Amino acid sequence: MASHSPSAPTNVDTLVIGGGIGGLSAARVLVGKKPDAHIVLLEKEPELGQGTSRADHNTGTGHTGAFYPPGSAKATAANEGFKWLRQYHDEKGMEPREVGKIIAASQPGDSALLQKYQKQALANGQKVASILSGDELREKYEPLLSRNITEGLWLPEAYLFDANGVIQAMAGDIRSLGGEIKTKHKFLGVRAIAEGWLVTTNQGEFLAKNVVNCAGTHSDRIARMAAGHLVDEDGKVEIEISRGARDWKIMPVMGSYVELNRVADWRTAVYEPTRNPPFLGVHVMPGVNGKPFMGPDVFFSPLRERFGQETSEPQGLAKRIHEALDNVIGIPRSTADLTRHGAVPNLQFYLNMATKADGRAEVWKHLNLDESFAKDVQRLVNPDKLELHRVDFSPLRSGIRAQAIDLLTGEVLQDLAKEEIINHYNPNSRFISDKMPGSPGFTASIGKGKWLTHSI
């Protein structure tokens, strides 16, 4: 833990860690629900929304709930967030692109998946979710769709959101409702005391009754600090009051995209079904500049952020190598970690990925992004109307997905999940961590913010 600042800590009601869509949504919910409370959001970067929430780090689609089992926390949050986000664009004068979505059956066996998605979309509140013939889809919605597509699920309500615009608008709301946002403030450590959580940052200490950890790909590390660094009443002996935060871990998984080098009249968000998660079918998307983009692949990431992103505190080479090793093999922190299932959980997960047929294809895809995507999109695009070759694509962007793994079972978490640590010395004081900052975190934002902060 970093050394204490000489000045007295700043007292706050709730400290939110992370200035991505997750932290902003949690803070937005709290300033509305507790107008008299001092709510402060800390972000380590000089600007908000530079992590996975940044426009060029995700696909940018408001997801319609077709992919999530009805009744799950994820479906409920996505359903609420989907409607809220659409209205929020109108309220703030932003323009979402109403593109609609086709989930296209491009391989044998996809029909059954379309039926499952249709049922889920309707149960999750979509007004229209129709399985249409390929001819009807081409005629009405996407003339460039391949003639090999014989059917697809049409979801007219899907839109592309303005990620950067939403981030700025949310920050404006929080400030105007009395909340504070502090950039260049990096959370470094925490300890529980009778008054609440004493949080150390690179710019001094905060004493918070509650902390909400929405640090994206870093959220497991911060949760472990809260679980592991508690002191007894005379402030000396470290004790442990929660093992929970040691039982899950974030694995960073990279998703990359390529862009067509020329303008084309591709109008609709066209997805293949997710046949073998965590691998995704290819998505072909209308680009804002008229150039369609395709992706993402699913590939292990040695870093939790993109190179050069952590501008506020550049890391030395040794720290980067340690971090890369930890992300790839999952270095155990204690002897207890060694004895439990998944001492090297990341490596196990990545090896599972790499040995599956889809995993091997994914490794190849990542090493040859332009060639692989040029081949993959042939399944969805009519070559007579839009000729595509490897040379037609340029690498566009990539984002780091926070894939959470349960270390006790080795399973990837599918539904939303939170870790709630109660302060040993003060039962009304909570430290809540978002365990699942993954997709559809942007769409679900406000619903997830409410769910996460329910007990505050």
Ligand X SMILES: Cc1cc2nc3c(=O)[nH]c(=O)nc-3n(C[C@H](O)[C@H](O)[C@H](O)COP(=O)(O)OP(=O)(O)OC[C@H]3O[C@@H](n4cnc5c(N)ncnc54)[C@H](O)[C@@H]3O)c2cc1C
Which residues, including other chains, have CB under 8 Å from residue 175's CB and lie 6 or more apart? 181
Q: Which stretch binds ligand X (CB under 6 A): 17-25, 140-148, 329-337, 361-369?
A: 17-25
By beta-carbon proximity to ligand X, the closer residue of 344 and 413 is 413
Q: Three-state SS for 368?
A: coil
Q: Could you say whether residue 431 binds ligand X (CB under 6 A)?
A: no
Q: Could you say whether residue 439 binds ligand X (CB under 6 A)?
A: yes
Q: Which stretch binds ligand X (CB under 6 A): 41-49, 121-129, 286-294, 355-363?
A: 41-49
Q: Could you say whether residue 19 binds ligand X (CB under 6 A)?
A: yes
* Three-class secondary structure assignment of 150-193: CEEEEECCCEECCHHHHHHHHHHHHHHCCCEEECCCCEEEEEEE
CB of residue 334 vs ligand X: minimum separation in angstroms? 21
CB of residue 310 vs ligand X: minimum separation in angstroms? 8
By beta-carbon proximity to ligand X, the closer residue of 220 and 370 is 220
Site residues (CB under 6 A) for ligand X, limited to 285-344: 296
CB of residue 236 vs ligand X: minimum separation in angstroms? 26
Q: How far apart are CA 180 and CA 13, in angstroms?
A: 12
Residue ranges in 295-406 assigned as alpha helix (H): 317-329, 335-339, 345-355, 357-367, 369-376
By beta-carbon proximity to ligand X, the closer residue of 69 and 143 is 69
Among 15, 16, 30, 42, binds ligand X (CB under 6 A): 42
By beta-carbon proximity to ligand X, the closer residue of 20 and 134 is 20
By beta-carbon proximity to ligand X, the closer residue of 134 and 253 is 253
Q: Could you say whether residue 14 binds ligand X (CB under 6 A)?
A: no
Residue with tokens 């000089």, as numbered in its chain: 46
Among 286, 441, 447, 449, binds ligand X (CB under 6 A): 441
Q: Could you say whether residue 449 binds ligand X (CB under 6 A)?
A: no
273, 103 in Cβ contact below 8 A? yes
Binding mask 203-232 for ligand X (x = CB under 6 A): -----------xxxxx--------------
Cis peptide before 278 (omega within 30 of 0): yes
Distances (CA, A) of 392 to 258, 292, 293, 386: 10, 11, 11, 11
| R_g over Cα of the chain | 22
Q: Could you say whether residue 401 binds ligand X (CB under 6 A)?
A: yes
Among 152, 278, 440, 447, binds ligand X (CB under 6 A): 440
Q: Could you say whether residue 58 binds ligand X (CB under 6 A)?
A: yes
Q: Are strands 39-42 and 10-17 parallel, antiparallel or unpaired?
A: parallel
Q: What is the DSSP letter of 101?
A: E
Among 16, 43, 198, 327, binds ligand X (CB under 6 A): 43
By beta-carbon proximity to ligand X, the closer residue of 344 and 361 is 361
Residue nearest to ligand X (CB): 441
Closest CA to 248 of 20, 444, 417, 430: 417
Q: How far apart are CA 389 and CA 371, in angstroms?
A: 8
Binding mask 250-279 for ligand X (x = CB under 6 A): -----x------------------------
CB of residue 53 vs ligand X: minimum separation in angstroms? 3
CB of residue 393 vs ligand X: minimum separation in angstroms? 17
Which residues, including other chains, have CB under 8 Å from residue 252's CB and lie 6 or more apart? 217, 300, 301, 302, 303, 304, 327, 400, 401, 402, 403
Among 10, 14, 22, 157, binds ligand X (CB under 6 A): 22
Going through 82-165 in order, the beta strands assigned E by DSSP cover 97-98, 101-104, 130-133, 151-155, 159-160
Residue with tokens 């109108």, as numbered in its chain: 90
Q: How far apart are CA 376 and CA 256, in angstroms?
A: 14
152, 101 in Cβ contact below 8 A? no
The site for ligand X, by CB under 6 A, has a size of 39
By beta-carbon proximity to ligand X, the closer residue of 22 and 65 is 22
Site residues (CB under 6 A) for ligand X, limited to 138-197: 186-187
Interacting residues toward ligand X by CB under 6 A: 17-23, 42-45, 50-53, 58-61, 63, 186-187, 214-218, 255, 296, 399-401, 437-443
